[in-house]
């Protein structure tokens, strides 16, 4: 039996449609046009593609998008000053700094990201938002794991009471995924590079999230028959060939539902960013009225 393919394109289109309606509502009700500023430092070609995508999606949805392109030689202080300026700009509701930063300032990434006003932190990386996620308060949540939850909901896949296993414990994917799934009443196990007998653990999962960055690492025998498999991995194995962390061709015969790579979770991330910009506007309106 072949698994249901969870198409990122289809779910991303639904998420963007709902964000577009919210953007229109914000314009009509509050006379606010959401604004996103994306700071890109240097010439990293992959980053330039991601930033172009974000800009294009904003335009599609009626969100004002400002791309702040800064030279490779930008200093930490210059970047912090730019963030301060955007923090104070009333027309900008969301700010993100495209990673990775150039080598010369990479070691300051944390300080730089923490300078973003938490209410404008649409990547959800600020410790204030991380803390709120952990304690279950309304927060801006990292787009990739938030997109996975949104997809499960749209696909009608139950989370409550399920066994979920996440492979990967990064701050961007694994850890927020843990809190999002736990908040939805899944019983969650997080695996990492020190986990013993990984396959034994993954075979218990009703929902298996692979976020490790290892091409085709998760093989069919690691998957419980009928499980939902979410492949977050993006691995370039040849100039024009991307694969996920899951051995899709074989896994598809065992899983109940599975995301492909490409065409899966990656597409949800940008769509969720748009949702986060809308959420940021709402938080800022609440703050102004409180």
Which chain residues interact with ligand NDP by CB under 6 A? 144, 167-170, 172-174, 191-195, 198, 211-214, 232-235, 265-266, 269
CB of 144 to ligand NDP, least distance (A): 4
CB of 51 to ligand NDP, least distance (A): 14
* Residue closer to ligand NDP, measured from CB, 33 or 170: 170
* Residue closer to ligand NDP, measured from CB, 217 or 283: 217
* Residue closer to ligand NDP, measured from CB, 73 or 193: 193
* Residue closer to ligand NDP, measured from CB, 109 or 170: 170
Is residue 123 flagged as an active site residue? yes
- Residue of 16, 82, 98, 117 marked active site: 98
- The residue whose Cβ lies closest to ligand NDP is 170
- Residue of 121, 123, 231, 245 marked active site: 123
Concatenating the DSSP letter of every residue in the chain gives -PPEE--HHHHHHHHHHHHHHHHHHHHHHH----EEEEEEES--HHHHHHHHHHHHHHHHHT-EEEEEEE-TT--HHHHHHHHHHHHH-TT--EEEEPSSPPHHHHTTHHHHHHTS-GGGBTT--SHHHHHHHHHT------HHHHHHHHHHHHTT---TT-EEEEE---TTTHHHHHHHHHHTT-EEEEE-TT-SSHHHHHTT-SEEEE-S--TT-B-GGGS-TT-EEEE---EEEETTEEE-SB-HHHHTTT-SEE--SSSSHHHHHHHHHHHHHHHHHHHHHHHHH-
- Residue of 54, 82, 132, 275 marked active site: 54
Is residue 103 flagged as an active site residue? no
* Residue closer to ligand NDP, measured from CB, 86 or 178: 178
Is residue 14 flagged as an active site residue? no
CB of 88 to ligand NDP, least distance (A): 29
| Catalytically active residues, by annotation | 54, 98, 123
């Amino acid at each position: 039996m072949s698994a249901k393919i969870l198409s990122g394109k289809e779910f991303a289109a639904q998420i963007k449609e709902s964000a577009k309606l919210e953007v229109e509502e914000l314009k009509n009700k509050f006379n606010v046009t959401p604004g996103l500023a994306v700071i890109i430092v240097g010439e990293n070609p992959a980053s330039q593609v991601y930033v172009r995508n974000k800009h294009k999606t904003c335009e599609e949805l009626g969100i004002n998008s400002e791309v702040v392109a800064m030279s490779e030689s930008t200093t930490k202080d210059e970047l912090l000053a730019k963030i301060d300026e955007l923090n104070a700009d009333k027309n900008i509701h969301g700010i993100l700094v495209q990673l990775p930063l150039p080598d010369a300032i990479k070691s300051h990434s944390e300080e730089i990201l923490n300078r973003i006003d938490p209410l404008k932190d649409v990547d959800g990386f600020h410790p204030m938002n991380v803390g709120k996620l952990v304690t279950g308060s309304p927060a801006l949540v990292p787009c990739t794991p938030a997109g996975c939850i949104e997809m499960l909901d749209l696909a009608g896949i139950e989370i409550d009471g399920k066994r979920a296993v996440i492979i990967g414990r990064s701050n961007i994917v694994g850890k927020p995924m843990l809190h999002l799934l736990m908040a939805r009443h899944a019983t969650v196990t997080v695996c990492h590079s020190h986990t013993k007998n990984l396959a034994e653990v993954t075979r218990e999962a009703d929902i298996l999230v692979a976020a490790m960055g290892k091409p085709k690492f998760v093989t069919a025998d690691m998957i419980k028959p009928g499980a939902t498999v979410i492949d977050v991995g993006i691995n370039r194995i040849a100039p024009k060939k991307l694969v996920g962390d899951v051995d899709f061709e074989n896994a598809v015969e065992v899983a109940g539902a599975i995301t492909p790579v490409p065409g899966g979770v990656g597409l949800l991330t940008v769509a969720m960013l748009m949702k986060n910009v809308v959420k940021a506007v709402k938080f800022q309106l609440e703050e102004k009225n409180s």
